[in-house]
Amino acid sequence: MDVFECVRGRMTIREFEPDPVPEPTVRKLLQAGRWAPSSRNRQPWRFVVVRDKDTLRRLAGIAPSGRFIADAPMAIAIVMEDADSPDLDAGRALQQMELVAWSEGLGTCFVGLPTEEQKRRVKDLLGIPEPMDLITVLPFGYRARTPRGKRRRPLSEIAHDGRFGVPYES
Ligand SMILES: Cc1cc2nc3c(=O)[nH]c(=O)nc-3n(C[C@H](O)[C@H](O)[C@H](O)COP(=O)(O)O)c2cc1C
């Protein structure tokens, strides 16, 4: 799949087929994260692959905005260790995973864990050392349903030409 086509087509997926994600594909997702750029090339990401159904259900129970994790055949927790810019580095790695997942027929959804309590419970469940920074849990699975339409602001609203305030209108 062409890179732009993948970027343009990718959507957040919250409904998954029950089929397992083949191990070579899981590995490919991890490789996609691994090859991401990071500040000072410190590669501070750690990825925890979760396939156990009961653990997926428990994760869903901890994350109020990610109940659908329970229906995914697999999830990857994104954890940062001693990162200069944890959110930026993690964002680049997980976006690469998301795009590769899309190109493989899979889908995922960034699941936010907004409270310290939620993060602590996920870390306890997955055995993630306390000082590490848990960014998200990404459920992965084959797309059961792709939502219709993807809305974005027009370019003229967000892009400026030469000087802020001059809309880019090419
Ligand atoms: C930082 C971040 C946090 C998000 N948190 C959640 C979440 O907790 N639960 C959820 O269902 N979707 C979550 N999303 C998904 C967004 O709602 C989704 O990306 C957005 O609506 C745009 O849709 P699209 O990804 O299909 O283009 C999150 C996305 C981002 C980037």
CATH classification of the domain holding 102: 3.40.109.10
CA distance 122 to 158: 36
Of all residues in the chain, what percent carry a pLDDT higher than 70? Answer: 100
Residues making up the chain, counted from first to last: 170
Residue 90 resides in a domain: yes
pTM: 0.96
Indicate the range of 80-84, 132-136, 139-143, 148-152 predicted with least confidence: 148-152
Cα 112 to ligand 1 centroid, rounded to whole Å: 8
Structure confidence at residue 146 as a pLDDT band (50, 70, 90): confident
Residue 168 resides in a domain: no
Domain with 105 in it:
3-158
Cα 6 to ligand 1 centroid, rounded to whole Å: 17
- Do 53 and 139 form a contact (C-beta atoms < 8 A)? no
Residue 54 resides in a domain: yes
Q: How many domains does the chain have?
A: 1
Chain-wide mean pLDDT for the chain?
97
pLDDT at 169: 86
Token pair 């000087």: residue? 163
More confident residue, 156 or 73: 73
Residues 6+ apart with CB under 8 A from 17: 73, 141, 142, 143, 144
Nearest Cα neighbor of 141 from 169, 108, 115, 165 is: 108
Work out the average pLDDT over 14-26: 98
Residue 138 resides in a domain: yes
CB-ligand 1 contact for 110 (6 Å cutoff): yes
Residue 44 resides in a domain: yes
Look up residue 116 and give its two tokens: 């310290």
Q: Does 170 score more than 80 pLDDT?
A: no
Residue 169 resides in a domain: no
Residue 28 resides in a domain: yes
Structure confidence at residue 148 as a pLDDT band (50, 70, 90): confident
Residue 48 resides in a domain: yes
